[in-house]
Amino acid sequence: MDEMTVLRELRADAPVPDRSALAPGRLQLTEAAASGRRARRLRADWRVAAFGAAAAITVAAVLGTQLVDAAAPDRSGPASTTGTLRLDSPAEVLNRAADALEKQPAPTEPRDDQWIYTKTVMAQPEGSDVGHMSYNPDNWVPYDNSAAARNGKDDDYRTSRDVYRAADELPDDPARLLAKVRSFYPTGHPPESLPEPEAVHSFRAMGLMVEAYPIAPRALARVYRALATVPGLHVTDHLVKDAAGREVIAITREEDGTHQQREILIDPTTFDYAGQRFVVTEDYTYQLSSGRSKLPPEKFKAGQITLSEARVEAAVVDAEGEKP
């Protein structure tokens, strides 16, 4: 079956996604090992306008099953660098995180000849075929990847150096910051795609900035304060489990026009980016048909985790292949 044809057919009842939105799950599994360049950007650009495309195809077909959040509610909140943190307000969580980050010393910006190493864990439920996929958790990208960016890159590609410097120059005012980040991660790719609503665009773009590595602590603090003002934001009232089994904070927003929410996962102690998840918000059945083929209906249950990844390590290193 032609996967891209299937994905296009799924978009009839949803806003048209940009090119990087069409295959987040499949790309995460099959291209994360492709060293460095385009895979890195597409993996980071996690806009999904059509839930059926992301869940029914890239997850149900690739993973062959769904996950269920097994984290036990703990409404007392986690212990953090700022004391016990109440998980009842995204603004409180993100502003407390910003307070803590602002106290951290500013690191030295990486050199242009250095590399960014990340290690990512994808959830692999029992019986799935993920272990047979071409997936490598280790990834190296040049900090200054401008040569690759000029050689066949999309016009919305951003190098690690681009992101670091853009984040460092973001204003303090949340509204101005959101506008700057939306401009940095624009909507409307390809040109025929529909623009995202402002709140959707803000959450997508801010998620990319939160995920960025490296990013100066004070810059991340400003990002968190602005993220707290995005309409429709929520925080799960208990810690959840990421793909590595760690307990983390989930900052969430329901994907407009879908049956899912996207979660930005944050470490409850350091407030660093921990990963992301897609979670079904209500029971529903999705019927997929492609040309003459009609597949069995796919049933989803509220609480199912259709995609989960955790970043378990990130570091600046001197050479490709080097680990901290």
Q: What are phi and psi of 83, to 5 degrees?
A: 95, -170
Q: Dump pLDDT digits (tens) for 193-231.
A: 677 899 999 999 999 999 999 999 999 999 999 999 999
This prediction's pTM: 0.75
| pLDDT for the residue numbered 10 | 41
172 three-state secondary structure: coil
| pLDDT for the residue numbered 191 | 57
Q: How far is CA 251 from CA 87, 105, 236, in A?
A: 10, 25, 7
Lookup: tokens for 51: 């839930």
- Per-residue pLDDT band at 84 (split at 50, 70, 90): confident
* Omega within 30 of 0 (cis) for the link into 214: yes
- Per-residue pLDDT band at 291 (split at 50, 70, 90): low
| pLDDT for the residue numbered 287 | 75
> Among 12-21, 72-81, 193-202, 250-259, where is mean pLDDT lowest?
12-21
Cα separation, 241 vs 67, in Å, equals 11
The torsion angle over the Cα atoms of residues 19, 20, 25 and 27, rounded to 10 degrees, is: 100
Mean pLDDT on 147-163: 75
- What are the boundaries of each domain within the chain? 3-317
Q: Dump pLDDT digits (tens) for 8-51.
A: 344 333 333 333 333 333 333 333 333 333 333 333 343 333 33
| pLDDT for the residue numbered 297 | 81
- C-alpha Rg value of the chain to the nearest Å: 19
Name residues whose C-beta falls within 8 Å of residue 172's C-beta, 6 or more positions apart in sequence: 222, 225
- Buried b or exposed e, range 2-24, using 16+ CB within 10 angstroms: eeeebbbebbeebbbbbebbbbb
- Per-residue pLDDT band at 255 (split at 50, 70, 90): confident
Model confidence at 170: pLDDT above 60: yes
